[in-house]
Amino acid sequence: EAGVVQSPRYKIIEKKQPVAFWCNPISGHNTLYWYRQNLGQGPELLIRYENEEAVDDSQLPKDRFSAERLKGVDSTLKIQPAELGDSAVYLCASAGETQYFGPGTRLLVL
Amino acid sequence: AQSVTQPDIHITVSEGASLELRCNYSYGATPYLFWYVQSPGQGLQLLLKYFSGDTLVQGIKGFEAEFKRSQSSFNLRKPSVHWSDAAEYFCAVAYGQNFVFGPGTRLSVLP
């Protein structure tokens, strides 16, 4: 069974530029998460989807971050414009009974 | 609010020694508890989980964890550590489909 797929794995951009991350969850998993993980810390939830509906986006900085999950499968997380403090690893996870993580996208904003 | 604490930021053990990583949680109801491991540059891999039943749960790679309700703890153990176990370990508690992660414990293994 394929795991959670994320791309790109690494991204380096200059501040004020836009960036997008893509996630393909495990087949059949209705719940999808986006987390941000800063260096030396645990993952922090940005947004959770149940199918195509965002059911928890309270921690998503909505002035610059946006996400979508069209058709309740793949999801995209976007940052526009990026700031220096956005440098982190962005993790996607999907869940049935248990949550499984993708490898993450490591973002560096210069 | 739900929270997870991992009191040890960094632990160093010798290869072959036993290991215990501590995890305490704050949650009003019966928790679902998890341990994940993260190697450098990788995502989080599930080691084991506790939903209900036997309070001692077995996981992959020879790890086990014990749920103690009276102490609000879910400590991870391994009887003999291998050099490949060096990584970051995260404890997590789930309420519904929401997960809260601890800050992690970094494990170093001496040859």
Q: Which DSSP string corresponds to chain A?
A: ----EEE-SEEEE-TT--EEEEEE--TT--EEEEEEE-TTS--EEEEEEETTEEEE-TTS-TTTEEEE-GGGS-EEEEESS--GGG-EEEEEEEESSSEEE---EEEEE-
pLDDT at position A12 over 80: yes
Residue A29: pLDDT above 70?
yes
pLDDT at A1: 61
CA distance A14 to chain B (A): 22
pLDDT of residue B52: 86
The residue among B41 and A20 whose pLDDT is bigger is A20
pLDDT at position B109 over 90 = yes
Q: Between chains, do A104 and B45 touch, taking CB under 8 Å as contact?
A: no
What is the average pLDDT across A104-108?
Answer: 96
In terms of average pLDDT, the best of A56-65, B17-26, B39-48, B97-106 is: B17-26
Mean pLDDT across chain A, nearest whole number? 94
Can you tell me the mean pLDDT for A38-44? 91
Chain B residues whose beta carbon lies within 8 Å of the beta carbon of residue A91: 43-44
* B3 Cβ under 8 Å from any chain A Cβ: no
Query: CA–CA separation, A32 vs B27, rounded Å?
Result: 23
Cβ neighbours of residue B94 closer than 8 Å, sequence gap 6 or more = A99, B31, B32, B33, B34, B100
How far is residue A12 from each of residues A15, A20, B43, B107, measured CA to CA in Å?
10, 12, 19, 29
Residue type, B108: S
Residue A55: which residues within 8 A CB-CB, separation 6 or more?
Answer: A48, A49
Q: Is the pLDDT of residue B28 over 80?
A: no
User: Residue A19 in contact with residue A25, Cβ under 8 Å?
Assistant: no
Residues B46-99: tens digit of each pLDDT: 999 999 888 999 999 999 999 999 999 999 999 999 999 999 999 999 888 888
Neighbour count for residue B55 (Cβ, 10 Å)? 12
Q: Which of residues 16-35 of B touch A (CB under 8 A)?
A: 34
Q: Is B18 exposed, middle or buried (0-12, 13-18, 19+ CB in 10 A)?
A: exposed
- Using a pLDDT cut of 90, give the percent of chain A over it: 85
- Asked if B27 and B2 count as a contact pair (C-beta separation under 8 A), the reply is yes
The CA–CA distances, whole Å, from B86 to A76, B75, B106 equal 32, 17, 8
Contact B45 A101 (CB under 8 A): yes
